[in-house]
């Protein structure tokens, strides 16, 4: 399937999440673009892979024939049919990695040949700029060697942590969907500045840098966000007055509810 020492990576499904992972590993030099093969039923999503220098096909089984590490990146409701299609081509040499939200390791193992090395991952879109957050969970036949290979590969996309499978749906609500909450907040932050007279382009740039800087301080200081927030507030100052408005708008509870709603939806998808 592959030349000795060269990892060949396949993607069954070529949507945004697959594109993000592929771009992350290629840009970090983990895998050569020519050693990536992506499949999709139409050309609509394959162009991004072709632009990256990857090979493409419309045949899912070809991906299994040519690649050892295969990401299943289809929509969750399509995955059972895809698994049925590719199962005859899966061997004990393959490492099968599902990116599908809500589809459990138990389901994957039931629909693939006995003994298949299966793992689940949940990345998020910033993998495309190598600043993603990814969690990995391994199935019963996947050992430390397979998990270490996947962690090494996905570390090119940003933060990568191995967790119990039960955390994956929570990660979907926290980070997979969470980037959209942050984009919404950034949009609102910038629009507040526009309302007060700042040009939109400058406001968007400063809002993005504000979020980037705040996130970097959390990671690099190790301080709890509440402590860092308190450090910004001075008695009677601008920040505490602004935070009072956010509390009146129930920002904290609303965000917690959003994480819960996305997590529960991911669990619902897994029960279908």
Q: Is 60 annotated as a binding residue?
A: yes
Q: Is 75 annotated as a binding residue?
A: yes
Q: DSSP labels for the chain?
A: ---TT---EEEES-SHHHHHHHHHHHHTTSS-GGGEEEE-SSSTTHHHHHHHT-EEES-HHHHHHH-SEEEE-S-GGGHHHHHHHHGGG--TT-EEEE--TT--HHHHHHHS-TT-EEEEEE--GGGGGT-EEEEEEE-TT--HHHHHHHHHHHGGGEEEEE--THHHHHHIIIIITHHHHHHHHHHHHHHHHHHTT--HHHHHHHHHHHHHHHHHHHHHH---HHHHHHHH--TTSHHHHHHHHHHHTTHHHHHHHHHHHHHHHHHHHHT-
Show binding-site residues for NADP(+).
73-76
Show binding-site residues for NADPH.
60
Show binding-site residues.
60, 73-76
């Amino acid at each position: 399937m592959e030349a000795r020492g060269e990892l060949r990576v396949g993607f069954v499904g070529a949507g945004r999440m697959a594109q993000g992972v592929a771009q992350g590993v290629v840009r970090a030099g983990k895998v050569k673009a020519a050693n990536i093969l992506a499949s999709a039923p139409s050309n609509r999503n394959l162009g991004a892979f072709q632009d990256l220098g990857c090979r493409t096909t419309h045949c899912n089984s070809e991906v299994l024939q040519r690649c050892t590490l295969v990401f299943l990146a289809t929509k969750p409701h399509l995955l059972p049919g895809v698994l049925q299609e590719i199962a005859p081509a899966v061997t004990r040499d393959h490492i099968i990695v599902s990116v599908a939200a809500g589809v459990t390791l138990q389901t994957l193992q039931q629909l693939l040949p006995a003994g298949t090395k299966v793992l689940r991952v949940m990345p998020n879109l910033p993998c495309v700029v190598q600043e993603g957050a990814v969690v990995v969970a391994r199935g019963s036949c996947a050992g430390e060697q397979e998990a270490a290979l996947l962690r090494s590969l996905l570390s090119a996309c940003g933060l990568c942590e191995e967790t119990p499978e039960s955390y994956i749906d929570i990660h979907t609500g926290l980070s997979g969907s969470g980037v959209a909450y942050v984009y919404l907040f950034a949009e609102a932050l910038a629009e507040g500045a526009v309302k007060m007279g700042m040009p939109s382009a400058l406001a968007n740039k400063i809002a993005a840098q504000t979020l980037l800087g705040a996130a970097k301080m959390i990671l690099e200081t190790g301080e709890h966000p509440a402590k860092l927030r308190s450090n910004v507030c001075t008695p009677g100052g601008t920040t505490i007055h602004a935070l009072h408005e956010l509390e009146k708008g129930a920002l904290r509870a609303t965000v917690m509810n959003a994480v819960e709603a996305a997590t529960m939806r991911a669990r619902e998808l897994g029960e279908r």
